[in-house]
């Protein structure tokens, strides 16, 4: 099973959409809510090579990107393979 981490913040529609997509895939993930752990924002920026918007999604330590990127992977049929590694 893949290790999935998602950095989020409240009131972020893209964060909710990304989490819903992962839930639809019956995938467990670790959510890092930046409103509860503001010190994690710099960690997210460093891990995502300078991206500061949420959500930021990592699968097995690989930066996937935000909702648009994970939705694109789903659309072209590549998300399941990443989630199974």
* pLDDT tens sequence across 31-85: 999 999 999 999 999 999 999 999 999 999 999 999 999 999 999 999 999 999 7
Whether the predicted pLDDT of 1 surpasses 80: no
The CATH number assigned to the domain holding 33 equals 3.40.30.10
43-51: long-range contacts at Cβ-Cβ below 8 A with a sequence spacing of 24 or more? 44/7
Domain that holds residue 17: 4-84
Q: What does pTM read for this prediction?
A: 0.95
* pLDDT tens sequence across 8-27: 999 999 999 999 999 999 99
Task: Report pLDDT for 85.
Answer: 79
Tell which residue, 84, 46, 26, 27, has the closest CA to residue 7: 46
Q: How many domains does the chain have?
A: 1
């Amino acid at each position: 099973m893949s290790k999935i981490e998602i950095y989020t913040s409240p009131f972020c529609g893209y964060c909710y959409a990304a989490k819903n997509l992962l839930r639809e895939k019956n995938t467990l993930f670790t959510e890092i809510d930046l409103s509860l752990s503001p010190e994690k924002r710099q960690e997210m920026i460093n891990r995502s090579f300078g991206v500061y918007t949420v959500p930021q999604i990592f699968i097995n330590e690989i930066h996937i990107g935000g909702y648009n990127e994970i939705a694109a992977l789903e659309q072209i049929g590549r998300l399941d393979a990443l989630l199974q590694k």
